[in-house]
Amino acid sequence: MPYSQRAGAAMAAVLLTLGVTFALSACASPVSDESGADHEQTQQGQPDEDDQGDQGESDGDSDPTQDTVRTGPIAEYGGPAYGDQGDAELTESGDWCKTIQVFWGGSEPVPAGVSFTFDTAVPDQPGLEIVTDAAACGTRGATAPCLGLTFQAEESGVACSVVVRPGDDFADGTTISFEGTLTCPTAEVCDAVAAREVDPGPPLVVDRPADS
C-alpha cells in the first residue's frame, strides 16, 4: 500500500477511536447527572418529611384546644363547691382558723381523672392575712389545709381549714374565696366540667371569734 494511503488509514482509525470515546463520554454524562439528580431529590425530600413531622408536633403542643388545665376562680369551673363550717376559732398562736367542707355538687358526675388544686385564698378586703404555710386546724374535722389541697373527682365531703391573721384594719364580715387549678385528662373534659352549672357555695365569712 502506498505511504499516503497508509497514513490516511491510520488517521481515520485515530479519528474513529476519538469519536467512540467522545460518544461514550457523552452517553455517560446524562446517566451520572440523572443519578445525581435523583439522589439530590431524595435528600431534599427526606428533610421535608422530617420538617412536616416536627411541625405537626409543634402545632400540637401550642394548640390551645389541647390544653388540659384551667386556672382561676373556682366559680368559673362549675365546682368543686364548698360550705362554710361555722365561726372562726382562735388558735394557740393567736391566729384564727376557718374550716370548709369541699364537695363537687351539681347533678352531673365529674369524669374520672379530674382534679382541682386549691392554690390561693382571696379576701375581699384588706385587713386579713392568709397564713400560707399553716397545718390543718380547728375542731370541725379538717384533715388538711385548704391551700395546696388537691380534690379528686371521686372524693366528696373533705374538710379543710384556712388560718388567717387579722390586722388592725380588719372588719367583721370579710369574705374569702378560692382560686386554683383544674386538671383534666382531655381538653374536652375540662370544657365539660367548666360548663357545669354548680353553685360554688357561699364564700367563707370571717367574723372576730367571741373568745378573742
Domain ranges of the chain: 3-62, 69-206
Judged against a pLDDT cut of 90, whether residue 45 lies above it is answered with no
Distance, in Å, from the CA atom of 204 to the CA atom of 84, rounded to the nearest integer, reads 5
State the pLDDT at residue 200.
Answer: 67
Give the pLDDT band of residue 66 (cuts 50, 70, 90): low
> Residue for cell digits 360554688?
200
| C-alpha distance from residue 184 to each of 116, 193, 198 (Å) | 9, 9, 18
Backbone angles phi, psi at 12, to 5 degrees: -65, -40
All three cell numbers of 98: 376557718
Backbone angles phi, psi at 210, to 5 degrees: -65, -35
In contact, 119 and 147? CB cutoff 8 Å: yes
Read off the pLDDT of each residue in 168-177 and give the average, rounded to a whole number. 96
C-alpha 148 chain-centroid distance: 18
Neighbours of 31 (CB within 10 A): 9
State the pLDDT at residue 7.
Answer: 39
> Residue for cell digits 365561726?
87
Is the pTM higher than 0.85? The answer reads no
Give the pLDDT band of residue 212 (cuts 50, 70, 90): confident
SS (H, E, C) 39-77: HHHHHHHHHHHHHHHHHHHHHHHHCHHHCCEEEEEHHHH
In contact, 130 and 123? CB cutoff 8 Å: yes
Q: What is the DSSP letter of 75?
A: G
Q: What is the DSSP letter of 117?
A: E
Alpha helices in 78-204 (DSSP H): 187-194
Task: Tell me if the bond preceding 123 is cis, omega within 30° of 0.
Answer: no
Q: Where is average pLDDT lowest: 73-82, 106-115, 139-148, 164-173?
A: 73-82
In contact, 82 and 178? CB cutoff 8 Å: yes
